[in-house]
Structure 1
Amino acid sequence: MGRYNLRKRRKTTHDNLVDRISYLPHEILVTILSLLPLKEAASTSILSRQWQYLWTSTMNLNFDDEDTLCRTARPPGGQAQELANLRYVNWVNSVVEQHRGPKVEQFRVSFHLDKRSSSSIDKWIRFAMKKGVQMLDIDFLEYGFHQSYTLFPHQVFGFKQRSAFEVPNLDPCMYTGFKSLKDLCFKNVDVAEEVLQYFLSNCPVLERLSVYNSRYVSRLRVVGTSIALKYLEIRECFMMESIEIRDANLVSFTYAGHTIINLLIRNVPRLVDVSICESNNLFFEVVFTQLSYCLSQLETLKLTYNVLFRCDRIFPTMPNLRHLGLIFEGDDAFALVNLTYFLQACPYLHKLVLQMYYKGPLKSFARAPKFSHNFLKVVEMVGYVGRTSDFALVRYLTKTAVNLEKIVVNPVQTRLLQSLNYRIMKDQILKWQETVRDRARKYFKRRVPKGIEFVCL
């Protein structure tokens, strides 16, 4: 009897070691590998003969080599940077040439590349088109490098260009390789207006378009219900002059820049989420005028608040607004006064996110008018550093929001996360942030009224 149980246990153990995963259908194995980072998926080729080429059918090609970027974090032009660029281009070329799958859902390149790699970049874009890519993300100048930008390869659409720095002209020939494209993102790429308009007009399921730091774009039109776009994000396009959104299906719109643009928004009934970040003393007057046709329907609004105080400023009422985000100077003497005006203009506001930055010392805040807000439940303070002005802001919010339920403190400086210094000095910055968290916990434990939940991220 004992020998029988021993043989049974050995048989059970042997059964548990059977490779059941390899017997799954090919499509399921490819789906599993597509969930892994690209290099990890490629490493499965050593498992067995069956797995040797399985990874070459992965549907997610994310060529994000952050480790190499951190190791070569220096001004471009050095030998280390040149070698890193060559290794990156060879890596992408190798994967593209080996790929056997019928389609690609995501294609993302993120590395410092310039026009010397244009022939390879052209090949990558053609590959993505051929594979019916759904998400295309191109970033050629990450982590703060400043060198000549790469022009998006317009030739794949049949566009003609007369010189290296001239905006291409539209050719009658149209390419249909992006019919499956849903999400398109250009970062630090010189992409012409005609190219963007081509994508909008010829990609029937394109729902999301993001353009960061492109020098050629000065105008953009999202006009007509035939355009499927729902999410539009334009950031740091310094030549941008005007954006027209009319009779469109847009749900969310974000614009961030250093100049005021001519923004025309008309008949966009689904638009409920808007973010406008500009650096100009006329910001409020211009933006509230430009948004006048949609303010009453907005549910989420994010604005830069870094303008001079005006006691006669009139804030339009936003009855449907539930989420308000403000990027503002934490040591502005009139911060509480203007914050009160915002709260009065949003009577049913549920969540307030304050993203703070600092320029200098603050002696005291100007006294804000007395006011009680009955619907504000959650306040989040991003960029909190524990200055005297931060404590005063907390006291103001706990008194004004009479039904406040939660305060969230996040010491992370958003601008710092996007800089090269964060990656170089990451350990020191994380240590400083933990010190800020400890100070915040001690302060809030003593000062925040009972019944208000405190969360420190």
Structure 2
Amino acid sequence: MKKQKVTEEEAPQGISKLPNLHLVQILSLLPTKDAFTTCLVSPTWRRLPTLIDSFNFTCSTDREREDFSFIQNAVAHSLSSKIIKFKLDLTNLSLPNCSFRPEYETVISGCFSFAVEREVENVLLWSQYSNGCTLPESLCTCSSLITLDVKHCGFNNAVISWNSLKSIKLRHLMLTDDEIVKLLSDCPLLETMELYSYTDFHRLEINSLKLKTLKLKDYVRCDGNGDDLEILSPYIQHLEISGEDLKCRLVDVSSVVNAKLIYNFACIKGIPSTYVEDCCRDYHQVVYTLVQDNLQKLCYATDLTIGTWFTQVMCTLQFKGSPISEFNCKYLTLMLHMTTFNMYGALLRASPHVETINIELEYTLLDDFLIYNFCCNSELLDLAKEYNMDLLSGFQALSFTTSRRLRSSSPQMCAGKIMSKRALKRLPNFQNFCY
């Protein structure tokens, strides 16, 4: 059956048969500038863009005056009594003198005052670091706000009161311990908190029964050879931590069922004036002990994801015969930056309850540089020993009560190359799958 061609004249008439309510819902999904362009379709469409309940604005350097003028006009002509989402993305806007013009600040402030008056529920405000954007005062006490996503936007000691807020994402912000405590107390219904490119605070204590998800992504080191971060959150269920040179201590995460640890911590040789080989080994022992403690705190998680550094440390501990808490996780994911991985035995010995192992191998030339220029001699010796450990070395004393699946994102890690027939005979219940 041949498809019938729809002419440009017929298309608007066809879609125009939809109820206005549905048309407004469709237009609300578009970038606001595109939504307002549809008023040219026909006279009957002229009013529809003024009824949209979601706004999606972007500004760029080459069109800054036109963009801000359009934003001001679109808000001024809005007839919607309720705003579901208001998005203002200024990341492509580079301003001279690293500051907003007074008229632009007036437009931004007016936009969010309008959104707050219309009981906005979801807000996204992204800015460039150099622009020095500040969270609009009207937004700081918005009682209807449910989700908030801000980037390079300071609070400047504002009075915060978000009694309905359930999800917050803070990107590229410096927050002290006291500011974190105050923020949590001002959001009594918060369920999810995500911090991106975070820095400056050292203790995160969350005692709320509501907050279940905590994501700390891409920790940024300010100075020194890494910072300490303590996490005391007995009621969170989903935990994710990533970043460079982060000495993270899990004090109490007893309710976590899903954990993702892909952070790393560099050797003390990163401080040239204090680097001595003997001190280095002592330093590694401190870090290894910290990893052991963290693993013990997560022993009841059922879904665990660990990165390259964490995996190497864990396998080193196994190789040295150091005790590691037995995992109760059923799903184990390894996110590795390396070309090959031969340490399955060490991992399986520590995780007898695992039913599915996902291995994600990602390798770039930068990985060689990072490993061999930032690892000290102690680390390189340990890694060399680990790489010589074959699959069977960890299987000798293993007994399984559950079948296992091995999934890999790497085509090189097919079942035939991962396990020999001899290994399979030793483990009749071990099932291999490659995807």
CA shift in 2, pair 1:405/1:265, >3 Å: same
Equivalent-residue separation in structure 2 for 1:263 and 1:346 (angstroms):
23
2:301 — aligned with what? 321
Question: Is 1:254 paired with 2:215?
Answer: yes
CA shift in 2, pair 1:89/1:241, >3 Å: farther
Deviation at 1:369, TM superposition (A): 8.1
Equivalent-residue separation in structure 1 for 2:144 and 2:258 (angstroms):
29
Question: Is 1:371 paired with 2:337?
Answer: no
Deviation at 1:351, TM superposition (A): 2.3
2:173 — aligned with what? 214
Deviation at 1:207, TM superposition (A): 0.2
Equivalent-residue separation in structure 2 for 1:186 and 1:17 (angstroms):
39
Could you tell me which of 227, 250, 265 is aligned with 2:232?
265
1:153 — aligned with what? 136
TM-score by length of 1: 0.64
Equivalent-residue separation in structure 1 for 2:198 and 2:323 (angstroms):
31
1:61 — aligned with what? 55
Deviation at 1:208, TM superposition (A): 0.5
Question: Is 1:300 paired with 2:258?
Answer: yes
Equivalent-residue separation in structure 1 for 2:90 and 2:119 (angstroms):
23
Contact 1:337 1:367 in 2 (8 A): no
Could you tell me which of 104, 109, 117 is aligned with 2:83?
104
Deviation at 1:368, TM superposition (A): 4.2
CA shift in 2, pair 1:444/1:135, >3 Å: same
Equivalent-residue separation in structure 2 for 1:325 and 1:29 (angstroms):
43
Equivalent-residue separation in structure 1 for 2:111 and 2:388 (angstroms):
51
Deviates more, 1:397-406 or 1:20-29: 397-406
Equivalent-residue separation in structure 2 for 1:365 and 1:385 (angstroms):
17
Could you tell me which of 107, 112, 115 is aligned with 1:120?
107
Deviation at 1:182, TM superposition (A): 0.5
Contact 1:242 1:263 in 2 (8 A): yes
Equivalent-residue separation in structure 1 for 2:352 and 2:303 (angstroms):
15
Q: 1:377 is matched by which residue type in structure 2?
A: E
Contact 1:335 1:365 in 2 (8 A): no
Equivalent-residue separation in structure 1 for 2:312 and 2:203 (angstroms):
33
Deviates more, 1:209-218 or 1:255-264: 255-264
SS in 2 for 1:179: coil
Could you tell me which of 179, 187, 193 is aligned with 2:151?
187
Equivalent-residue separation in structure 2 for 1:192 and 1:20 (angstroms):
51
Deviations 1:187-231 (A, max 9, x none): 111223544xx1xxx333210011111246552126669811111
Deviation at 1:89, TM superposition (A): 2.5
Equivalent-residue separation in structure 2 for 1:60 and 1:207 (angstroms):
19
Give the percent of matched residue pairs that are identical in Structure 1 and Structure 2: 15
Structure 2 unaligned residues grouped into runs of 5+: 1-9, 94-98, 268-283, 369-382, 420-429
Contact 1:223 1:246 in 2 (8 A): no
Contact 2:213 2:238 in 1 (8 A): yes
Matches within 5 A, 1:203-242: 203-215=162-174, 219-221=179-181, 227-242=188-203
Q: 2:134 is matched by which residue type in structure 1?
A: L
Contact 1:191 1:214 in 2 (8 A): no
CA shift in 2, pair 1:322/1:368, >3 Å: closer
Contact 1:192 1:217 in 2 (8 A): no
TM-score by length of 2: 0.66
1:276 — aligned with what? 241
Q: 2:100 is matched by which residue type in structure 1?
A: K
CA shift in 2, pair 1:343/1:124, >3 Å: farther
Q: 1:107 is matched by which residue type in structure 2?
A: F
Deviation at 1:19, TM superposition (A): 4.5
CA shift in 2, pair 1:44/1:344, >3 Å: farther
Deviation at 1:301, TM superposition (A): 1.4
Deviations 1:377-401 (A, max 9, x none): 3334445139999x97997599789
Equivalent-residue separation in structure 2 for 1:55 and 1:49 (angstroms):
12
CA shift in 2, pair 1:364/1:301, >3 Å: closer
CA shift in 2, pair 1:357/1:339, >3 Å: farther
Deviations 1:28-87 (A, max 9, x none): 32223223343443333222211122022222212257xx6xxxxxxxxxxxx3x24334
Equivalent-residue separation in structure 2 for 1:442 and 1:364 (angstroms):
13
Deviations 1:299-328 (A, max 9, x none): 011224423653654441534312222233
Equivalent-residue separation in structure 2 for 1:343 and 1:405 (angstroms):
25
SS in 2 for 1:33: helix
Equivalent-residue separation in structure 2 for 1:342 and 1:21 (angstroms):
68
Equivalent-residue separation in structure 2 for 1:382 and 1:366 (angstroms):
14
Contact 2:326 2:351 in 1 (8 A): no
Equivalent-residue separation in structure 2 for 1:118 and 1:343 (angstroms):
58
Contact 1:333 1:366 in 2 (8 A): no
Deviations 1:134-163 (A, max 9, x none): 11011102xxxx524222233x37xxxxxx
Deviation at 1:183, TM superposition (A): 0.1
Equivalent-residue separation in structure 1 for 2:115 and 2:307 (angstroms):
37
Root-mean-square deviation (Å): 4.3
